[in-house]
Amino acid sequence: MKNSKLLISILVTAIITAGITYNLVSPKEVTLLNEEDPFSKLKSTYNLLQKNYYQDVETEKLVEGAIKGMVESLEDPYSVYMDIEEAKSFSENISSSFEGIGAEIQENDGSIIIVSPIKGSPAEEAGLKPKDVIQKVDDKSVEGFSVTEAVMLIRGEKGSTVNLVVERPGVGNLNFTITRDTIPIETVYSEVIEDQIGKIQITKFSESTSEEFAKALSDLQEQNVKGLIIDLRQNPGGLMDKAIAMSDIFVPKGENILQVEYNNKTKDVYKAENDAMIDLPTTVLIDGGTASAGEIMAAALNQSAGIPLVGEKTFGKGTVQSAKGFEDNSSVKYTTAKWLTPDGTWIHDKGIEPTVKAALPDYANLPYINPDNVLKQGDSTPEVNAAQQMLKALGYDGVSLNGYFDENTTKIVKQFQQDQALEVDGKISEGTTIKLIELLQSKIKENDTQLDKAIETLKKDL
């Protein structure tokens, strides 16, 4: 009896402590389920809420909530139910330009992660990096959000701003204030660089990418290039069929481009159907932002055409998705299969290792400084340390690198401001910050050590 009273006391205390109040009506009967109908519990719950919930319920909300819950139960970051607005946003990202910051994201274990910023986008210019974890969007936590829910918060009209708090591995939390812009449809950029080498950068695989790529190749061939570098860095992927078509240009006829494995272990094997149309020495650039369709092309060219990969290990996304639209313009995007490299390797969560490893200079990975902040003598913050590192990278050798804004840092900031015809006040604020970032980005482009290594690798075959 004593033990029973103690147990009741503990239970009552636990309920009070948790701040929960119950006013339960004792159930008079148990709802029977139809064992032959796996949806009988779902239907019963739906009918129960429609009849007995204390407020009016919207049928559409109940149905959409059930669908979302069903898809979320898969615990697959690439499978998601998209309502009408979300489905429209997804379609725009694949087929046309849109307004936003220009970054591919994914959900992983309840976190929203940057896969890759798009070339020339506000996200790239602000300094977002692959693997950055988005904590907040405009002070709203996105923990537990789906990708589409996060996208709807991050996107917005051109000219408007959005504030992101991200956690960067090894650095900690960083603040980014980004001005949204139109993210263009163009996905392929080409140029002739030193020693008649053609360079083609592919930023993602959208509906127009294969046509853009074919034109870029044709233009470079007309300029009599001697070799080719394909830059797949920061490419978050896109449409698998475009990656297959573009790989077919390089892979010898009959060789594997990729394999697709379904849940019943059957496989579709995609082979090159045409004689290789490009016989120029070729090298491919990859990094941690190369994902999905970008990895398909990189693996195909490496394993089936013997083309070397230069750079850093890729992101590691080895699954295939399909999207099924509904009459009301909503849709479900869901994972249908694994994709395997030509030799049957599943690179999911592992990535592809480069043939030749090459990293960018350390200053290419410096954290972002918010131009809205004012850094001044006496401050001691990670942003001060980043600014000091930037000044050193730009040739100001005497600057301290301890994160403390001392008198010497003030002196060097004034010298920098004088050199750049800025207001000389010794503080790092909007104008000085923007100039620091601009000059650093220019230096990174001028000192692209990964591209240099790709050129060096390519020249061995010229």
Task: Point out the residues that are catalytic.
Answer: 292, 317, 321
Find the radius of gyration of the CA atoms of the chain. Answer: 27
Q: Token pair for residue 180? A: 């949204």
Helical axes 84-95 vs 147-154, angle rounded to 10°? 80
Q: Find out whether 276 and 250 touch, Cβ atoms under 8 Å.
A: yes
- Please say whether the beta carbons of 128 and 103 come within 8 A: yes
Taking the C-alpha atoms of 94, 97, 98 and 103 in order, what is their torsion angle to the nearest 10 degrees?
60
3-class DSSP assignment, residue 254: coil
Could you tell me which of 284, 290, 302 has the C-alpha nearest to residue 345?
302
**Nearest-angstrom CA–CA distance, 304 and 247:** 10
Q: At what angle do helices 293-305 and 240-247 cross, to 10 degrees?
A: 20
Rounded Cα gap, residues 232 and 205, in angstroms: 10
Sequence-distant (6+) residues with CB within 8 A of 193 are 199, 229, 455
Contact (Cβ atoms closer than 8 angstroms) between residue 196 and residue 280? no
Measured in whole angstroms, the distance separating CA 398 from the mean position of its chain's CA atoms is: 37
Give whole-number Cα distances, 416 to 17, 98, 339, 413, 444, in Å. Answer: 59, 38, 51, 5, 19
What are the tokens at 8? 């009741």
| Token pair recorded at residue 254 | 């009959």
Run of H or E including 430: helix 430-446
Kind of pairing between the strands at 309-311 and 256-261: unpaired
Alpha helices in 34-146 (DSSP H): 40-52, 59-72, 84-95, 122-126
Block residue for tokens 């127009």 = 208
